[in-house]
Amino acid sequence: MKPAWDQLAAEYADSKTAGVFDVDCTTDGKALCEQNGVRGYPTIKYGDPSNLEDYKGGRTLDALQKFAAENLKPVCSPANLDLCDADKKAQIEGFMAMAEADLAAKIKEKKDEGDALEETFKTEVKALQAKYEQLQKDKEEGLKSVKESGLGLMQAVAAHQKKVKSEL
């Protein structure tokens, strides 16, 4: 994917309205990656730098170019209200009218909601993993018990009896 990404970055190097960049999350970019919820590598994010979204498309040069052509352009934001529909414009204007402390509290509230959802997800996945492991253990023990109960001998006897009958 790296060669395709580098080519895409080169194509957008002189753009006045869009950019394609690399961030090394293991060195100088660690804080930026943490701030934007990067948990695995490579991760592709796009959109307003203060509100990046996860890219879920293909990783080939063609897929990246198609996505970039359709999405890397100015979007509705406080700096581009003229690109907003009436609902988004009203929402942004409402947020802009809020006191700084109130806006910060609202942001924290929404981030806390997201964190709670993430924590619930992790807890439930952990419970599912434990359940899966228990089911796997139960299956293995059950299959061992079935085998030890004489299944192999029963199959051998059945095969032998069938062979004897066919010889008669």
pLDDT at 148: 92
Are residue 1 and residue 61 in the same domain, yes or no? Answer: yes
The model's pTM is 0.56
Are residue 68 and residue 18 in the same domain, yes or no? Answer: yes
Q: Cis omega (within 30 of 0) on the bond before 42? A: yes
Among residues of the chain, what percentage have pLDDT more than 70?
100
From the list 35, 16, 34, 33, the residue with the least C-alpha distance to 24 is 33
Name the amino acid, one letter, at 138.
Answer: D
Cα separation, 168 vs 157, in Å, equals 17
In a domain, 89, yes or no: no
The string of pLDDT tens digits covering residues 46-69 is 877 777 888 888 888 899 899 888
In a domain, 94, yes or no: no
pLDDT at 47: 79
Three-class secondary structure of residue 15 per DSSP: coil
Are residue 3 and residue 69 in the same domain, yes or no? Answer: yes
In a domain, 119, yes or no: yes
In a domain, 125, yes or no: yes
The string of pLDDT tens digits covering residues 86-141 is 999 999 999 999 999 999 999 999 999 999 999 999 999 999 999 999 999 999 99
Are residue 105 and residue 158 in the same domain, yes or no? Answer: yes
Are residue 64 and residue 108 in the same domain, yes or no? Answer: no
For the chain, how many structural domains are there in total?
2
Are residue 19 and residue 63 in the same domain, yes or no? Answer: yes
Q: What is the CATH number of the domain that holds 4?
A: 3.40.30.10
In a domain, 80, yes or no: no
In a domain, 131, yes or no: yes
Are residue 21 and residue 64 in the same domain, yes or no? Answer: yes
Range(s) of the domain holding residue 37 = 1-73
The string of pLDDT tens digits covering residues 152-166 is 899 999 999 999 998
Q: Is the pLDDT higher at 12 or at 148?
A: 148
In a domain, 86, yes or no: no
pLDDT at 158: 94
pLDDT at 19 over 90: no
In a domain, 87, yes or no: no
Sign of CA dihedral 97, 100, 102, 103: positive
